[in-house]
């Protein structure tokens, strides 16, 4: 529990010191208000029941009203002044959680267990649905209410020490039951993570334009809404169970409060009737009992709340400590000069899969070579590329860069060797220029020349803002929606701008017809010039541009050679090429 609190306080302090300072001052100012409200009215009443001195009445009323005014204004100031600080700390929390996604090994992004862990980590940061500041505010509130409690106990103890012990016992009993409810509520909340992720997924479907077409054309709205509703119904059942625990603890807390108030009033009224207590003292003790009850309950409830989120902090700690093994274990620099990459008896199996996706792959990619990786869908082509670029490491065998195992080479340096256009490439809702260079140093003229080289010149001439035109209309009505072919050309320009020595095209033309695909590969072959290039496709239009062709089948390389040699061999490649030849005539 305390580790989580220390983490929150330290994070808040490092993010925005004023947030902690304003919050602490707010708690202090508000902790004094109950003490003033309990004690000062006693003196006003005593003066009214006694000599009724005007100067004393004015003084007491002035102290009460003056402090209330000052405290109210100060509280408002700390609340509103801290609002922008709270936003900054919240934004930093978002970046803190998201950064792990960029640092974790790529394999984690394809693991449902990792996403469940991230969801649990967010539950700690955002205190379930309460918001990121809830736990930190609760922790600071404990100290504020403890200060109030100390003053109130000093007052009530002058009445009857046994009364204080009774009150403490009742509040502790209430806190124990609430702790039981919170523990079970936390358990149910952790169990609902998969449901919440499913609910969020379906919710996002309706807001994404790329799904909007499918939903309308196939009439999916009712079917998807039914699935959406089912997740909602199951979440509601989980929340109802959790609320059942809270209702029971709330009822028990109300009962304890009733006993406490009843005992206090009975004792105080008996003292007044017996003539052993003045009306002013009666008023002060009634206020003190009420304030004691509220402050003690607040301390215990906040303590229980903070303690209940212990499992969430453990999940967040586990999430932040998920190892990024590929970075941690790689230290060597990339060798200089033209690069040779060798797959030596490499096998790989995706997590929880029964069969290997790659089996005993052996191949050498020489400097400046153009290699076509072909085969039918599911043959292992994309898996081969993922291992080539170290999105995964092999389970067996090794991959060597200039004779050095790539596991030993600094991860970022190795990744810098590759410019890639994936089959499922992504464009961002940034400007056209930013989609190419991502903030790197580049002049408008340089980006424009590159876009024209990949064949976007005519489209560029129609854009009023040129390379500064937003891609998509997510944030600007003046944005443009690139066609499939235009999007691929932007992705190609991005790969060329990176200017890495090895270029990879992983089926980026799958949505194009064969002739358009052939033209795109021809253009790209001219652009990459002397660089090492790998072309991946289940169609064979890229093969004629390449020095060698690797034919994959069931995760193995079953043929390797030039186009002419493989055609003479009359094997799998020749049969595939013959079947597709009509498209390339």
Alpha carbons 222 and 241: distance in angstroms, whole number: 28
Helices (H), ranges, 158-278: 161-191, 193-205, 209-217, 221-273
Per-residue pLDDT of the chain (585 residues; tens, 9 = 90+): 567 778 878 888 888 888 888 888 888 888 777 777 777 777 777 667 777 777 777 787 777 777 778 878 887 887 777 777 888 888 888 888 888 888 788 888 878 888 888 887 877 776 655 655 677 777 777 777 777 777 777 777 777 777 777 877 887 887 788 778 877 877 777 777 777 777 777 777 776 766 765 666 566 778 778 878 887 888 778 878 878 888 888 788 778 878 877 887 787 788 778 877 778 777 877 777 777 777 777 777 777 777 777 777 788 888 888 877 777 766 788 888 789 999 999 999 988 788 899 999 999 999 999 999 988 888 888 899 999 989 889 999 999 999 999 999 988 889 889 988 887 788 888 888 988 988 788 898 999 998 998 888 888 888 888 889 988 887 888 888 888 778 888 888 888 888 889 999 877 655 566 666 666 777 777 777 788 999 887 667 667 778 899 999 999 999 999 988 999 999 988 888 887 766 555
Structural tokens at position 179: 């702790």
Alpha carbons 385 and 524: distance in angstroms, whole number: 18
507: left (phi over 0), alpha (psi -120 to 50) or beta: left
Structural tokens at position 250: 């709330």
Alpha carbons 289 and 113: distance in angstroms, whole number: 50
Structural tokens at position 316: 């967040």
Dihedral (CA of 278, 281, 287, 290) sign: negative
CB 307 within 8 A of CB 179: yes
Ordered structural domains, the chain, with CATH: 18-319 (1.20.1560.10), 369-392+406-426+485-584 (3.40.50.300), 428-481 (no CATH)
């Amino acid at each position: 529990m305390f580790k989580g609190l220390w983490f929150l306080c330290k994070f808040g302090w490092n993010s925005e010191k004023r947030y902690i300072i304003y919050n602490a001052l707010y708690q202090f100012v508000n902790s004094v208000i109950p003490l003033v409200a309990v004690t000062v009215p006693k003196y006003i009443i005593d003066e009214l029941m006694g000599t009724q001195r005007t100067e004393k009445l004015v003084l007491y009323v002035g102290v009460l009203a003056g402090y209330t005014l000052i405290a109210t204004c100060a509280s408002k100031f700390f609340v509103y002044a801290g609002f922008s600080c709270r936003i900054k700390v919240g934004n930093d929390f978002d970046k803190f959680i998201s950064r792990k996604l960029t640092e974790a090994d790529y394999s984690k992004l394809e693991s449902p267990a990792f996403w469940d862990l991230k969801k649990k980590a967010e539950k700690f940061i955002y205190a379930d649905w309460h918001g990121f500041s809830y736990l930190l505010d609760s922790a600071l509130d404990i100290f504020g209410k403890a200060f109030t409690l100390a003053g109130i106990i000093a007052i009530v103890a002058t009445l009857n020490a046994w009364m204080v012990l009774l009150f403490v016992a009742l509040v502790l009993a209430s806190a124990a039951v609430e702790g039981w409810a919170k523990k079970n509520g936390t358990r149910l909340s952790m169990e609902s993570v998969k449901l919440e992720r499913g609910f969020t997924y379906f919710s996002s479907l309706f807001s994404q334009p790329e799904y909007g077409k499918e939903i309308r054309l196939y009439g999916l709205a009712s079917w998807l809404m039914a699935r959406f509703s089912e997740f909602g119904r199951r979440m509601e059942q989980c929340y109802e169970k959790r609320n059942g625990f809270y209702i029971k603890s709330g009822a028990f807390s109300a009962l304890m409060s009733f006993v406490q108030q009843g005992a206090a009033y009975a004792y105080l009224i008996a003292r007044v009737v017996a003539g052993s207590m003045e009306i002013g003292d009666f008023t002060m003790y009634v206020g003190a009992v009420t304030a004691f009850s509220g402050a003690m309950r607040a301390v215990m409830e906040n303590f229980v709340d903070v303690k209940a989120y212990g499992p969430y902090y453990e999940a967040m700690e586990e999430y932040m400590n998920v190892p990024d093994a590929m970075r941690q274990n790689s230290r060597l620099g990339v060798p200089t000069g033209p690069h040779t990459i060798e797959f030596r008896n490499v096998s790989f199996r995706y997590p929880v899969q029964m069969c290997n996706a790659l089996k005993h792959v052996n191949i050498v990619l020489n400097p400046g070579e153009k290699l076509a990786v072909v085969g039918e869908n599911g043959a292992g082509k994309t898996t081969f590329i993922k291992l080539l670029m170290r999105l995964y490491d092999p389970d067996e065998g090794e991959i060597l860069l200039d004779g050095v195992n790539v596991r030993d080479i600094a991860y970022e340096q190795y990744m810098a060797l590759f410019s890639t256009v994936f089959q499922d490439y992504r464009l961002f809702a940034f400007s056209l220029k930013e989609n190419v260079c991502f903030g790197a140093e580049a002049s408008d003229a340089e980006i424009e020349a590159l876009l024209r080289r990949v064949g976007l010149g005519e489209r560029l001439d129609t854009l009023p803002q040129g390379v500064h035109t937003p891609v998509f209309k997510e944030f600007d009505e003046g944005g443009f929606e690139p066609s499939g072919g235009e999007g691929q050309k932007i992705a190609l320009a991005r790969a060329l701008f990176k200017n890495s020595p090895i270029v990879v095209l992983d089926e980026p033309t799958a949505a194009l017809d064969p002739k358009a695909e052939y033209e795109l590969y021809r253009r790209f072959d001219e652009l990459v010039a002397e660089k090492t290039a790998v072309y991946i496709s289940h169609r064979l239009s890229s093969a004629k541009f390449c020095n060698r062709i690797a034919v994959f089948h069931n995760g193995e390389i079953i043929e390797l050679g030039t186009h002419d040699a493989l055609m003479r061999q009359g094997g799998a490649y020749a049969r595939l090429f013959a079947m597709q030849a009509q498209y390339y005539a």
